[in-house]
Amino acid sequence: MGNSNSSRFPAQDRFEGGAQYIGGRFVPGTSGRKQDVVDPATGDVVYAYELAGAPDVDAAVAAAKDAFPAWAAATPAERSDALHRFAAVLADRAEEFAQAESLQCGKPIKLSREFDVPGTVDNTAFFAGAARHLQGQSAGEYSGDHTSYVRREAIGVVGSIAPWNYPLQMAAWKVLPAIAAGNTIVLKPAEITPLTSLLFAEAATAAGIPDGVVNIVSGAGRDAGEHLVGHPDVVMTSFTGSTAVGKRVAEIATATVKRTHLELGGKAPFVVFDDADLEAAVHGAVAASLINSGQDCTAATRAYVQRPLYDAFVAGVADLMATVRVGDPFDPATDMGPLISHVHRDRVAGFVERARSYARIVTGGEAPKNQGAFYLPTLVADAPQHSEVVQSEIFGPVLAVLPFDSDDEGIRLANDTPYGLAASAWSRDVYRAGRATREIKAGCVWVNDHIPIISEMPHGGYKASGYGKDMSAYSFEEYTQVKHVMYDNTAVAAKDWHRTIFGDR
């Protein structure tokens, strides 16, 4: 364990019972293994706790299973009211959430205050409304002799696993549609960033959401995570994280025939056609590649720029990147904080070091000499399309930029990675942009912007970026099951269709 600097985590006294939230109470983990939560800007340990083991996962699943019948039977209006109260509690505690999120992730406080926390409050309010609008096919007499209708039902206990990059928003994206639809949930946050998921679950209780509806197990992926995915009482697994771990999760879930929902990695292209507003594209590229220090699954990572604009785009991005203020996440003026850890920073730096042999590092490419896991905004030009800097998810503040000639080539290069989470097209020509939106294989394509998300619209991948949708009414399709109910309307014992079984008596 390192130096404990718990004074910087004012919400800590809420976790006196431990860092597992089971059945509406904080309790300690029982794995016997300790975990530090480290402020990546300083290297200080800000909280230390005992990880969840399999018995803690079992207890959380049991609590969720007990809570399910009553929660599923609550009326949509009751669940909606509870979610409205939840949104209000979150809004009241917004600053506490922002502080905790910035502390455990190193996120600039302005990003936590203006994006992560308000986004979560808005998502909660959205699902409060959506809870009363579960859509289904209309009822009707499709056979002539029966009335058919569709029930959209909760499925039971959901087991969810979230990553460290947006811990609060990822918890919200998993928990809210699941509980709005009447399910109960056990969420495993990334073990290095459990703080805001725990606060989120406790806020749900404070809002009057019944004990056991939202449970958190703060445990490691290999044991608590795999145990949760394989648990026989968990009927669905919803996972956000890397493609490699997503494949493992799918494998385990298959063995128990679970529904899976996988939100995986990304390598978003940013395609600039030669009629684009260059200034807008330059601003967009810097913002979209550096948000959250580039640790964003939809971040712009590969800019393809049509030849006539290429040199000016490279120069413009490099100049603007050099103005980005990298430093203390708690300084409201800071634009970019550290990466999540020194290990991850070194991994990111490794990609850039290897790229020096085949590409041009236009700006950045170094780590400031201080205690934190910082890395400077980095622009890598002229890397070959099949080099790792263009193909692999780096998950850091590194933008690769490549030229293209024809529109066909730009779109082909944009599609030429295994991923398909998000993309953007930059053009003033509605037909060119329209073609890009149709032909780029990604779950979201922006036109003349890159990053904004909204509660009403779905988020989710194509290809190796996974399947299933977060946010929006579409997520109810993930967290509900559809039942066909069919009533006989004839009241006749010998029905017409019986002739196919009994002959024509």
CA–CA distance, 173 with 320 (Å, rounded to integer):
32
Q: Is 240 in the site for ligand NAD (CB under 6 A)?
A: yes
Distance CA 293, CA 329 (A): 11
Pairing between strand 360-363 and 419-420?
unpaired
Is 161 an interacting residue with respect to ligand NAD (CB under 6 A)? yes
Return the half-sphere exposure (C-beta side, CA atoms, 13 A cut-off) of residue 141.
Answer: 6
- Cα–Cα distance, 351 to 427 (Å, whole number): 30
Q: Tell me the window of 17-25, 72-80, 219-227, 475-483 that interacts with ligand NAD (CB under 6 A).
A: 219-227
Residue 264 in contact with ligand NAD, rule: CB under 6 A: yes
Taking the CB of residue 64, how many other CB atoms lie within 10 A of it?
26
Q: Which amino acid is at 177?
A: P
**Residue from 50, 101, 263, 477 carrying the catalytic annotation:** 263
Q: Does 229 bind ligand NAD (CB under 6 A)?
A: yes
293 sits near ligand NAD (criterion: CB under 6 A)? no
Q: What are phi and psi of 293, to 5 degrees?
A: 55, 30
> Residue 362 or residue 471: which is nearer to ligand NAD going by CB?
471
- Whole-angstrom Cα distance, residue 174 to residue 460? 12
Residue 462 contacts ligand NAD per CB under 6 A = no
- Nearest approach, Cβ of residue 262 and ligand NAD (Å): 8
Name which of 148 and 391 has its Cβ closer to ligand NAD.
391
Residue 107 interacting with ligand NAD (CB under 6 A): no
Q: Is residue 241 a contact point for ligand NAD (CB under 6 A)? A: yes
157 bridge partner residues = 184, 234
Helices 76-92 + 195-206 axis angle, to 10: 120
- Asked whether position 101 contacts ligand NAD by CB under 6 A, the answer is no
Minimum Å gap between C-beta 41 and ligand NAD is: 19
* Candidates 95-103, 222-230, 447-455, 472-480; binding stretch for ligand NAD (CB under 6 A): 222-230
Establish if 188 lies at the interface with ligand NAD (CB under 6 A).
yes
Residue with the shortest CB distance to ligand NAD: 221
Q: Which amino acid is at 475?
A: S
Distance (Å, rounded) from C-alpha 121 to C-alpha 89?
Answer: 9
Among 269, 410, 461, 468, binds ligand NAD (CB under 6 A): 461
Nearer to ligand NAD, 113 or 267 (CB): 267
For residues 172 and 93, give the distance between their C-alpha atoms in angstroms, rounded to a whole number: 15
Stretch that binds ligand NAD, among 6-14, 56-64, 132-140, 183-191 (CB under 6 A): 183-191
94-105 and 195-206 helices, crossing angle to 10°: 160
User: Between 164 and 375, whose beta carbon lies closer to ligand NAD?
Assistant: 164
Residues of this chain, 356-415, that bind ligand NAD according to CB under 6 A: 393, 395
Please name the residues in contact with 234: beta carbons below 8 A apart, sequence gap of 6 or more. 61, 156, 157, 158, 159, 186, 228, 256, 258
* Residue 446, strand partner residues: 424
Cβ proximity of 423 and 270 under 8 Å: yes
| The 3-state secondary structure of 361-393, one letter per residue | EEECCCCCCCCCCCCCCEEEECCCCCCHHHHCC
Q: Three-state SS for 318?
A: helix
The full length of the chain comes to 505
Nearer to ligand NAD, 242 or 437 (CB): 242
CA–CA separation, 165 vs 178, rounded Å?
A: 21
CB of 310 to ligand NAD, least distance (A): 27
Is residue 182 close enough to count as binding ligand NAD by CB under 6 A? no
* CB closer to ligand NAD out of 310 and 395: 395
Task: Decide whether 112 or 427 has the Cβ nearer to ligand NAD.
Answer: 112
Closest to ligand NAD by CB, 163 vs 372, is 163
CB of 351 to ligand NAD, least distance (A): 14
| Binding of ligand NAD by 266 (CB under 6 A) | yes
318 part of the interface to ligand NAD, by CB under 6 A: no
Whether 226 sits among the annotated catalytic residues: the reply is: no
Candidates 280, 212, 237, 192; CA nearest to 21 is 212
Binding site for ligand NAD (CB under 6 A): 161-165, 188, 190-191, 221-222, 225-226, 229, 240-242, 245, 248-249, 263-266, 297, 393, 395, 421, 461, 465-466
Catalytically active residues, by annotation = 263
